[in-house]
Amino acid sequence: MNQEKIPFKKNDALIIVDVQKDFCPGGALAIPEGDIIIPYLNNCIQQAETEQIPVYYSRDFHPVVHPSFESQGGPWPAHCVQDTDGTKFHPDLYIADNAVFVTKGVRFDQDQNSVFDQTGLKYHLESAGVQRVWIGGLAMDVCVVDTVLDALASNLQAILLGEGTKPVTEQGGQSALEKMSNSGAVIYPTDSK
């Protein structure tokens, strides 16, 4: 794959959001072409690993009864139910030697779309001296956008991997992109859609 080198620098981190089977074609909440970003992300991850940039992988991990599910009046079909196959990372996703996993969506009373939402990640990144985060994964208009906005709210610089994310809907993706750049996130590469 012909891919530009990501200009990582010291005090960067990479966050790979929810690249799980249930969000890929064939899964319970399949995002259109959710899996085609994986080779691009793998390249970023391998480069990060080589350069000793920490790599965080989040996973959505819901109890069998969860407020985000349609059965409970929520917006989504049941997905990423704890300990089911659908919660697994896509088998093609490269897992770095320095991987750190962040589990979210476990609360019984509310959803957690952002990887920062009540996970302690802000505290952890601060302690690790991280100043800037590169973010990709699924879905651009749900968990990725909320993670990017929370990163900015946590006083981190945030860069969206524009070629390493896909939205649930085209329209949702467009408004997510606008929201992210209006809030101060960089969309990388700058000229990507």
Residues serving a catalytic function are: 18, 104, 143
Binding mask of the shown chain, residues 59 to 98, with x at each position contacting ligand VGL by CB under 6 A: -x-------x-------x----------------------
| DSSP structural state of residue 158 | E
Find the part of the chain contacting ligand VGL (CB under 6 A) among 5-13, 44-52, 139-147, 150-158. 139-147
Q: Alpha-carbon distance 25 to 34, whole Å?
A: 7
Residue 160 is classified by DSSP as: E
What gap in Å lies between CA 18 and CA 87, rounded to an integer?
9
Q: State in angstroms the smallest separation of the CB of 143 from ligand VGL.
A: 3
Q: Which residues on neighbouring strands pair with residue 159, listed in sequence order?
A: 134, 186
> Closer CB to ligand VGL, residue 47 or residue 169?
169
Query: What DSSP element (H or E) covers 16?
Result: strand 12-17
| Stretch touching Zn ion by CB under 5 A, among 53-61, 91-99, 164-172, 184-192 | 53-61
Considering only residues 57 through 96, tell me which ones interact with Zn ion, judged by CB under 5 A.
Answer: 60
How many residues bind ligand VGL (CB under 6 A)? The answer is 10
Among 143, 149, 151, 187, binds ligand VGL (CB under 6 A): 143
Name 50's Cβ contacts closer than 8 Å, sequence gap at least 6: none
Is 166:35 a contact under the CB 8 Å cutoff?
A: no
User: Rule CB under 5 A: which residues touch Zn ion?
Assistant: 60, 105
